[in-house]
């Protein structure tokens, strides 16, 4: 059930469907992913206490080149 994750709202339209899910056994760690069609794309695994917006936007920008 990949749609069960918590949506993460970002300004970048490429990350519009980004969701997060806690890592079992590590509640402060979160998996950030995009579910497209029948594919699940892991974007990042980050500690939930970090300022994740700049990190996720940076990740997306690095993939464009």
Per-residue pLDDT at 62: 44
Separation CA 62–CA 12 (nearest Å):
13
Q: Does the pTM of the predicted model rise above 0.85?
A: no
**For residue 4, what is the DSSP state?**
G
Separation CA 30–CA 6 (nearest Å):
10
Q: Mind listing the pLDDT tens digit of every residue in the chain (65 residues)?
A: 777 788 887 877 788 888 988 999 998 999 989 888 888 899 889 887 888 777 777 654 445 44
> Residue 13 is part of which domain span?
2-64
Instruction: Count the domains in the chain.
Output: 1
């Amino acid at each position: 059930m990949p749609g069960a994750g918590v949506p993460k709202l970002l300004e970048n339209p490429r990350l519009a469907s980004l969701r997060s899910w806690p890592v079992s056994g590590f509640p402060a760690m979160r998996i950030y992913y995009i579910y497209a069609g029948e594919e699940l794309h892991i974007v990042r695994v980050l500690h939930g206490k970090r300022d994740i917006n700049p990190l996720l936007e940076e990740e997306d920008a690095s993939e464009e080149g």
